[in-house]
Structure 1
Amino acid sequence: MISPSPPGGGTDAMSRLVAARLTEAAKWRLVVENMPGAGNNIGLRAGARAAPDGYTLVMGETSNLAVNPFLFKKLDFSAVDDLVPVALMGTGPLVLVVRTESRFDSVAAVLEAGKKNELFYASSGNGTVGHLVAESLRNTAGIKLQHVPYKGAGQAMADLLGGQVDLYFASLTAALPQIAAGKLRPLAVTSEKRHNALPNVATFGEKGFPGLSYTVFYGVVAPAGIPEAVLNLLNKEINSALDTDEVRAVFAKQGITPQLISRGQFASFLAAERAKWAAVVKTTGATVD
């Protein structure tokens, strides 16, 4: 199981969850290998070039599967053509967070400061959802934001907590432990409705930005060319391994809504996500080339 991100973020957590559950439920021995870098493209490329025998899987997510195909113009592989969907695990929103010592106690305070002076925001890498959502806020609100990309959520979180950056649109998976520990202050979530994990935190829609409604997803993909029967078996075993009260409790703690669906449904979901994020890339003008 290739995790195309460093340890400490949602993608790596999901990779290790799948590996542990399949090892226990299906008696398969899965080894998680981190291959971070280049906006998750290094790990994704390794998966795309692996033998299509069903023994190499990749943890895909919104950035590397739905954003990067439109953001990176010079990739030597195609996330669309060289990888096939296997199983969608779950979805969840982002949350705009600041450290508890920050002078920002609300979205309004961020907007007021950002119209006067440049603020620095972290992301877990160029082209990640956090990067694009922050750019959407910058364009919509007309504020001054400077992007500081990192090589993963762990590094971005460390610098936010250390005061090197002002803001971070983090996945709930990465942010909830720090919020619970009292180290981060959540300002707003990007879901359409308030999230069960943070019921007292308003949505961006409530703050006057109804267009700032985005979620991240996590799903397993594999090299193209694997026989259909093998792919269907993988989908069945992953869904079965994750369809337990124990895993649902883990998902809830990480702010993830389970989405255990068929391969065909995952393919349709992925097509819709790609269309949506292609429009976001075009609208924000974000680029990494």
Structure 2
Amino acid sequence: MKKRILLAAMALTWVLPAAAQDYPSKPIKIIVPFGPGTATDTVARVVGAAIGNRTGQAVVIENKPGAEGQIGAQAAATAPPDGYTIFITTQTTQAINPFVYKSLTYDPVKSFAPISGLSLGAQIVMVKNELPVKTIGEFIALARAQPGKLSFGSGNGSSRGGAELFRIMAKIDLLGVPYKTQPQAITDLMGGRLDIIFSDFTTGLPPVLDGRARGIAVTSKERIPGLDQFPTVNESGVPNFEMWAWTAAYAPAGTPRPMIDKLNALVREAVTTEAYKTLTKTTFAVPFPGTPEELAAFQASESKKWGEIVAIAGMKEP
């Protein structure tokens, strides 16, 4: 019996490297827990195209939005751990949801194998054109004059987190309105049905630059080169305010390490392509590829930070 077990174990060690060496031999699926047109979706499509070009295999993007990313996260967590499913997501599913919801259908740590970080970016603070404010200070004054009357929309956890932290640090009362996706929230802002949004640059910056909404600040600690016309929230009346959003790639837990290493190499190569460099340049994001271990450590630190933010802002759902 012991001899058979030993032989089986040896066979497995031979099979996995061989499988990794032939990888990929069929289409790869990328699950995105947010809708088409979102920042995460845009990153996934550029990365997927690069992987497809490098491997000669089709890369299929599956958008599964809803429930603050939980639907997509569950789909990724229960996918076969064979190296043919990549989960491209954000801090919403991996660092925020565990503190907001009493129970999840997935575990942000145990359900996934980290592959690599992808991008890190600040947010644009935007208000509807009809709102009579042009600065963060003016918005705070208006909110204090009309407590509970002004609304913010959010289509993901980082957007809500930015607005909630701002609300707490500025000592104002705002009405939060949740959306299935960020583009839906921005559409309502442009239609005058919301007052303010904290948004990623991919979905928020275009309507600001073409005049459909008014940008009043960015959430980085210092002004962003190329967007110097927008002051920071930190310098505009809310000292020490800072908010960043990130994207990263994971695989289902149990994916063999040789497959993870292959995926890590493919993702890190994708981040060096001209298409990805153009994406980060136009969205004012910073690439942050790394090892699986580095992503795991980064996620742990982000979970600690977001746990404190959720507690301070009172974001926990009943």
Q: Structure 1 length normalisation: TM-score?
A: 0.95
Task: Find the residue that maps to 1:32 and give its secondary structure.
Answer: strand
Give the residue type in structure 1 aligned to 2:150: L
CA deviation digits over 1:221-261, x for unaligned, max 9?
Answer: 11100111110110111111220233212211012111122
Task: Find the residue that maps to 1:225 and give its secondary structure.
Answer: coil
The corresponding residue for 1:169 is 198
The corresponding residue for 2:4 is none
The corresponding residue for 1:137 is 166
Q: How does 1:51-66 map to 2 (within 5 A)?
A: 51-66=80-95
Native 8 Å contact 1:11 1:61 kept in 2: yes
Q: How does 1:158-197 map to 2 (within 5 A)?
A: 158-197=187-226
Structure 2: distance between partners of 1:141 and 1:215: 18
Structure 2: distance between partners of 1:54 and 1:262: 16
How far has the Cα of 1:74 moved from its partner? 1.3
Using the TM superposition, name which of 25-34 and 141-150 deviates more.
Answer: 25-34
- Which of 28, 53, 78 aligns to 2:57? It is 28
Moved over 4 A (4+): none
How far has the Cα of 1:197 moved from its partner? 4.2
- Which of 190, 209, 217 aligns to 2:246? It is 217
Larger radius of gyration: 2
Structure 2: distance between partners of 1:157 and 1:48: 30
Native 8 Å contact 2:221 2:240 kept in 1: no
How far has the Cα of 1:48 moved from its partner? 0.5
Task: Find the residue that maps to 2:123 and give its secondary structure.
Answer: strand
Native 8 Å contact 1:90 1:217 kept in 2: yes
Using the TM superposition, name which of 85-94 and 95-104 deviates more.
Answer: 95-104
Using the TM superposition, name which of 242-251 and 115-124 deviates more.
Answer: 242-251
Structure 2: distance between partners of 1:33 and 1:98: 31
Q: How does 1:122-133 map to 2 (within 5 A)?
A: 122-125=153-156, 128-133=157-162
Structure 1: distance between partners of 2:110 and 2:193: 39
Q: 1:232 to 1:216 in 2, by over 3 A?
A: same
Task: Find the residue that maps to 1:115 and give its secondary structure.
Answer: helix
For the aligned residue pairs, the C-alpha RMSD in angstroms reads 1.3
The corresponding residue for 2:152 is 121
How far has the Cα of 1:81 moved from its partner? 0.9
How far has the Cα of 1:275 moved from its partner? 0.9
- 2:35 is the counterpart of 1:16: no
Structure 1: distance between partners of 2:56 and 2:267: 12
CA deviation digits over 1:162-194, x for unaligned, max 9?
Answer: 111000000111112212222222111111121
The structure with the greater share of residues assigned to helix is 2
Structure 1: distance between partners of 2:145 and 2:41: 37
How far has the Cα of 1:19 moved from its partner? 1.2
Using the TM superposition, name which of 28-37 and 207-216 deviates more.
Answer: 207-216
Unaligned 5+ runs, structure 1 = none
How far has the Cα of 1:79 moved from its partner? 1.2
- Which of 95, 105, 112 aligns to 1:76? It is 105
Task: Find the residue that maps to 1:137 and give its secondary structure.
Answer: helix
- 2:313 is the counterpart of 1:284: yes
Task: Find the residue that maps to 2:153 and give its secondary structure.
Answer: strand
How far has the Cα of 1:8 moved from its partner? 2.1
Unaligned 5+ runs, structure 2 = 1-29
Identity, in percent, stands at 31
How far has the Cα of 1:86 moved from its partner? 0.8
